[in-house]
Each structure stands twice: as structure tokens, then as C-alpha cells.
Amino acid sequence: MWQYLTLLGVTLNFKIKMFADGADIEEIRKLRQNPKVSGFTTNPTLLAKSGVLDYPAFAKEAAKIAHPHPISFEVISDDLDEMYEQAKKIYTWGQNVYVKIPVTNTKGTSTGSLISQLAKEGVALNVTALMTIKQVNEVCSNLKSDVPSVVSVFAGRIADAGIDPIPVMNESLVITSKLEKCELLWASPREILNLIQAEKVGCQIITMTSDLWKKTANLGINLEEFSLSTVKMFYNDAINSNLKI
């Protein structure tokens, strides 16, 4: 079983929860049957990519399919007062729903006051698009220890900036661990190695796109065999393309 491997000098049994990231109903239905999937996340970009036109209808159906696993839906306003109203509506879409709140609006205004108000009202939150320790500290100062929450730190985008995300994730875990029901999520993974890294850090959750779910088949593969299959792929593609020299 690939759940039990020794990689990066650590024996893994994958305590981390793997959430499927996407906004396609049929894909959600399919992944719901996968025992490795522990939850689901969506965002407006994924909704647009999937061509979702009726957000509430999609979300209610997705939440029903995902149940009892948690699923996150994001507000779509840039105004904090309107975000609040949307959050309250979204939270009624299913018993397993977390409301996604961005760490700021598009003007860079902190959503801390909104997060604080919703947490006080017992709304389960997934605060998203964090990339700095300052943001993690501020967000966590507005969450409540006894209300379920997820803090999504975009480790993949931190790496895209040429910065090692591991120290950020390690420090973020120290901060989020002070809140009893808060979980740290490794967001925007770029490769399957990020799963191993997130497990080693101790993150409670990682999001996985459909491409990454496919790559889990390579976990623990013998590298010489992997090398040979790569050579065969290049050769077969050359033959099938009728390449000539």
C-alpha cells in the first residue's frame, strides 16, 4: 500500500487529510467514492472553469454528494458587508459546508473583522489565499478556538515566488495549533512531492487537483522502472508521430 512508505527520511502513513479541489459535479461524485478523499474545496476560478451558472444550485448538489465530508464554497463579493450576507446564505447550503473568506478584498483591506463576526456566530470558516506569517497571525487572532475553521496557506504560490514554503508552513502550524478546532491546509500544491512535504510538516489538510490524484499512482514507484517507462513513452510517441531523421 502506498500509504506506508519511507520517503524523505520519514515513514509515512498519511495522517494528512486529502481534499479534492474542483468544481465539476461528476468529478465530485466520482471522487466521493475514493476512500482517500476526506473533503472537497471549490473556488470562483474553478467554478468559472467548469462553466457553473447557478452557484447555489451547484453548491447544494455538491454538498449533498460530498456529505458527510466537508466542502468549502467562497463568497464572491468585494464588499465586507455583502460578504457577510453571502456567508450567512452559503452556510445554509449544507450541514457539511465551510464558508470560504479571502484574507483581504481586492483593495487589500483585511477581512479580519468579518472573520471575527462570523466566527462569533459559529460559522465554520475556510480563510483562503494566505501567504505570510503576518496574515496567519491576524486571521487566527479573529477565529474562535471552539468553532471549526481552516486556514489555507498557499504554499504552492509561495514556491512560485521562489521562496521555500516549508518554514512558512512550519510556523503557521505553531500558530494554528493554538486554536483547538483550527486546521492548517497546504493549498495550491504543484507536485506530488508537496503531499510528502505537507505530511512531514504536520499540516492537517492538503488540497489535491484531479491531476495530482492521478499522480498518487507513482508514489513509491521504483525509479529505474519509472525511467524505463519514460524512455518507452518517448520512443512510442516518436514512432506514432512518424518522426524521421
Query: Burial level of 57, CB count in 10 A (0-12/13-18/19+)?
Result: exposed
Query: Burial level of 144, CB count in 10 A (0-12/13-18/19+)?
Result: buried
Query: 164: helix, coil or strand?
Result: coil
- Which of left, alpha, beta for 116 (phi over 0: left; psi -120 to 50: alpha)? alpha
R_g of the chain, CA atoms, integer Å: 20
Q: Give bridge partners of residue 104 from the DSSP assignment.
A: 110
C-alpha neighbours within 13 Å on the C-beta side of residue 28: 26
Query: 78: helix, coil or strand?
Result: coil
Torsion of CA 127, 27, 188, 234, to 10 degrees: 180
Contacts of 35 (CB under 8 A, 6+ apart): none
Q: Would you name the residues annotated as active-site residues?
A: 100
What Cα–Cα distance (Å) separates residue 113 from each residue in 110, 117, 138, 143? 8, 6, 10, 10
